[in-house]
């Protein structure tokens, strides 16, 4: 199934297609393990289709790519900006802490190697 067609499906249809594709994949894997079928191409196609369906449903859940679902914030309007700034500050603090840890680890390793 094409990605454009998957995106046009409703949430219930996506869920139905995911279940049916999963069942088909299970049956096909079982047949391959029993030596009845050599459907490697069909296995790949089903795995890809399931991944696309899950991706589209997750995008809709998160509100990515123009999905119809709206994200509703539980914070008041003024508090949203403060929370966003706080999140950004903690993210930068974590990345800078990782960088300093890496630098100190490589420096100590270099000292150990120089002493030999």
pLDDT tens digit string along 20-38? 999 999 999 999 888 888 8
CA angle in degrees (0–180, nearest 5) for 34-37-38: 115
Q: CA-CA distance, 18 to 55, in Å (whole number)?
A: 11
Q: What are phi and psi of 25, to 5 degrees?
A: -60, -40
pLDDT of residue 12: 95
3-state secondary structure 19-41: HHHHHHHHHHHHHHHHCCCCCHH
Which of 13-22, 27-36, 73-82 is least confident? 73-82
- pTM beyond 0.85: the answer is no
Does residue 28 contact residue 37 with C-beta atoms inside 8 Å? Answer: yes
């Amino acid at each position: 199934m094409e990605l454009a067609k998957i995106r046009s499906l409703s949430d219930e249809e996506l869920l139905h297609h995911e279940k049916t594709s999963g069942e088909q994949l299970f049956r096909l894997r079982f047949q391959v393990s029993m030596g009845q079928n050599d459907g490697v191409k069909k296995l790949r196609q089903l795995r890809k289709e399931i991944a696309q369906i899950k991706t589209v449903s997750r995008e809709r859940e998160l509100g990515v790519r123009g999905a119809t679902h709206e994200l509703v914030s539980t914070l008041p309007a003024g508090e949203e900006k403060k929370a966003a700034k706080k999140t950004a500050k903690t993210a930068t603090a974590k990345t800078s802490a990782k960088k300093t840890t890496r630098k100190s680890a490589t420096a100590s390793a270099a000292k150990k190697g120089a002493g030999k």
